[in-house]
A = this chain, B = another copy of it.
Amino acid sequence: MTGKGASRARRGRPRQAEVARLAGVSQTTVSLVLGGNKQGITLHEDTRRRVLAAARELGYVPDPAARRLAAARNNLLGVFSFTATFPTAVEHSYYPFLVGVEQEAAARGYDLVLFTGSSSGSQAAAPGALERVRLADGCLFLGRHLPADGLRRLVEHGYPAVHVGRHEELAGLAWVGVDYVAASFEVVRHLEGLGHRRVVLVREDDEAPASTDRERGFRSGLAGPGAGDAVVRTADPASDITPGWLRARLAEGVTAFVAEETDTGAAWRALLAAVDGAGLSAPDDLSLALLGSPPADLAARPEPAGFDIPRAALGAAAIRMLTALLAGETADEPLVACAFRPGTTAGPPPAAP
Which chain A residues have a beta carbon within 8 Å of chain B's beta carbons? 1-13, 38-39, 56, 59-66, 68-69, 71-74, 76, 84-86, 88, 91, 95-96, 98-99, 102-103, 105-107, 110-116, 119-120, 123, 127-128, 131-135, 137-138, 153-154, 156-160, 300, 325-328
A116's partner among B39, B62, B68, B111 (CB-CB below 8 A) is B111
Known: A13-B157, A120-B107. A5 touches B328 (CB 8 A): yes
B61 and A128 within 8 A (CB): yes
Give Cα A127–Cα B55 distance, bound, in whole angstroms. Answer: 12
Give Cα A86–Cα B98 distance, bound, in whole angstroms. Answer: 7
B160 and A5 within 8 A (CB): yes
Report chain B residues within 8 Å CB of A98: 86
Known: A114-B111, A157-B59, A327-B3. A65 touches B13 (CB 8 A): no
A128 and B8 within 8 A (CB): no
B114 and A5 within 8 A (CB): no
Report chain B residues within 8 Å CB of A5: 73, 137-138, 158-160, 325-328
Give Cα A3–Cα B74 distance, bound, in whole angstroms. Answer: 11
Which 10 A-B pairs have CB atoms at the shortest separation, nearest pair first? A8-B158, A106-B116, A12-B157, A65-B68, A6-B73, A5-B326, A112-B114, A61-B134, A106-B120, A59-B131
Residue of B nearest to A74 (CB): B65
Known: A73-B3, A157-B59. A114 touches B86 (CB 8 A): no
Residue of B nearest to A120 (CB): B106
Report chain B residues within 8 Å CB of A111: 113-116, 132, 135
Give Cα A107–Cα B156 distance, bound, in whole angstroms. Answer: 30
The quantity of this chain's copies bound in the complex is 2
A157 and B86 within 8 A (CB): no
Report chain B residues within 8 Å CB of A38: 1
A11's partner among B39, B85, B127, B157 (CB-CB below 8 A) is B157
A9's partner among B65, B115, B138 (CB-CB below 8 A) is B138
B132 and A116 within 8 A (CB): no
Give Cα A132–Cα B138 distance, bound, in whole angstroms. Answer: 19
Report chain B residues within 8 Å CB of A71: 2-3, 6-7, 10
Known: A4-B327, A113-B112, A114-B102. A135 touches B10 (CB 8 A): no
Give Cα A10–Cα B11 distance, bound, in whole angstroms. Answer: 31
Report chain B residues within 8 Å CB of A4: 327-328
A68 and B135 within 8 A (CB): yes
- A-B pairs with beta carbons under 8 Å apart, 16 shown: A3-B137, A3-B326, A8-B326, A8-B328, A9-B157, A11-B158, A12-B156, A13-B159, A59-B128, A63-B134, A65-B135, A106-B120, A111-B114, A111-B115, A111-B116, A111-B132
Give Cα A122–Cα B53 distance, bound, in whole angstroms. Answer: 21
A61's partner among B39, B84, B107, B132 (CB-CB below 8 A) is B132
A64's partner among B135, B160, B328 (CB-CB below 8 A) is B135
Give Cα A153–Cα B14 distance, bound, in whole angstroms. Answer: 12
Report chain B residues within 8 Å CB of A133: 61
Residue of B nearest to A130 (CB): B59
Report chain B residues within 8 Å CB of A3: 71-73, 137, 326-327
B61 and A135 within 8 A (CB): yes
Report chain B residues within 8 Å CB of A110: 116
Report chain B residues within 8 Å CB of A153: 59
